Amino acid sequence: MVFWVFSAVAVVAGWRVFCTDSMVRASFLLLVSFIAVGAIMLLLNAPYLGFATIFMMGVEMMVMALFMVMFMMNPAGLNPMMMVHQHRFSIAAGAAAFVGLAIAIFTTGFPHDPVAAGRPVIHDLGRELLGPSMLIFESAGVTLLATMVASVILSSRSGRFGAADEGSVPPPLEPGGEPAGRRPDDEGGGHAHHHH
């Protein structure tokens, strides 16, 4: 029963991610979905993994929401916007992922016996993570860190070779139209003065 409630929450929240009109709401709906998954892990007698999922996802979704609001042109993410794009590609990617995961579920042999009551699951998990799986675990961690550092470097305006947006022109509001906003050339010295 509890399992079904959490599963429903996870699925519905995951679906709502794509229906909402704000990046912040989308991030935290995804967080709700992950928390429900974490709760299911707790039900499966995986306390460390369950809490760690909730804990890590809390931080990750927070950072993701913040970075999206920062890098997208939407003040604070409260201006409504459409959260879906590249429809055909995403439908194809979604279908492929669903089929792949479904096949994986049906071909994997899951254990049927419940975990013994007194078994030190966290101890066993630690042995596994820092033993045979150490290489995968660590390389995934380092890759994620490198990605984060690289994305900040790429999105920063000041770089080794001067301002990153030098000579760039903002996109037009209509196809083929005038570039929107102020152009860097108009500014003279990069100081924005306020005119009434």
Partner 1 sequence: MAMSLLGRFAARAPVPVFPAVGRDGEVRLDVLSLAPALRVVDSPRHASILLVSGDIRTADRDSLARVHDQLAHPRATLWWGTQPRADTGAALTVAAAESPETALRDLYRRLLTGGHTSETHWLADEPPNPWRGRGDHGQGGEGMMGGVPYGRMMPMPPTPDLRDGLALDVYTAQFGPFLPQLPPGLVLEITLQGDVIQSAAVVRPPFLPGRDASAPFDRVLHEATPVAAIERARAAHHLRCVARLLGILQLAPQAARCRRTALKIERGGSIDLAPLRKTLRRAGAFAAIPAGLGPIDAAWAAELGGPAARAADQARDRRETAPAYRNLDFRTLCQSGGDVRARFTQWLDEAEQALALARAAGDAAIEKGAPVETPWGHRAPPSVYRLTDMLPGLEWGEALLTIASFDAAAVCRMAPLGIENP
Partner 2 sequence: MTLLIASWIAVLLFGAWCVAVLDNLALALIERRSAAGALTAPLYGAAALLRQQQNRTEAPDLLNWKLAPALYLGLAAAGVAVVPLAPGDILADLQAGIVLWGAVEALTVVVVFLHGWSANSMLALIGAYRYVAIGLPVMLLSMFVLIAAALPAESLAVSAIVESQRSLWNVVRQPLGLPLFLLLGLSLSFRGPFNYADSADLAGGTAAEVSGASRLLWEFARLAMLAAVAAMASTVFLGGYLGPVLPGPLWLLLKTAALLIVLVAASHLFARLSPARMLTLLWVVLLPLAFVDLLWAGVVAL
Q: Which of 12, 55, 79, 122 binds partner 1 (CB under 8 A)?
A: 79
Q: Is 170 exposed, middle or buried (0-12, 13-18, 19+ CB in 10 A)?
A: middle
* Binding-site member from 4, 157, 176, 188 for partner 1 (CB under 8 A): 157
Name the residue with tokens 């150490």.
Answer: 134
55 binds partner 2 (CB under 8 A): yes
Say which entry of partner 1, partner 2, none residue 139 contacts (CB below 5 to 8 A, set by partner kind).
Answer: none
The CA–CA distances, whole Å, from 131 to 14, 36, 107, 127, 137 equal 34, 29, 26, 5, 10
Nearest CB to partner 1, comparing residues 141 and 181: 181
Least Å from the CB of residue 121 to partner 2:
7
43 binds, among partner 2, partner 1, none (CB under 5 to 8 A by kind): none
CB 83 within 8 A of CB 17: yes
75 lines the binding site for partner 1 (CB under 8 A): yes
Q: Does 151 sit near partner 1 (CB under 8 A)?
A: no
Q: Applying CB under 8 A, does 70 fall inside the site for partner 1?
A: yes
CB hemisphere CA count around 95 (13 angstroms): 5
CA–CA dist 166, 184 (Å, integer)? 8
Instruction: Please name the residue ranges forming H helices in the chain.
Output: 2-16, 23-43, 47-71, 87-107, 121-129, 134-155
Q: Give yes or no for residue 63 binding partner 2 (CB under 8 A).
A: yes
Least CB distance to partner 2 at residue 108 (A): 26
Distance CA 122, CA 87 (A): 42
66 counts as binding partner 2 under rule CB under 8 A: yes
Is there binding between residue 130 and partner 2 (CB under 8 A)?
Answer: no
Q: Residue 73 or residue 105: which is nearer to partner 2 going by CB? A: 73
Element of type H or E holding 163: strand 162-163
Q: What residue type is 25 in one-letter code?
A: R
Nearest residue (CB) to partner 1, 131 versus 190:
190
Selected from 6, 13, 17, 25, the binder of partner 2 by CB under 8 A is 25
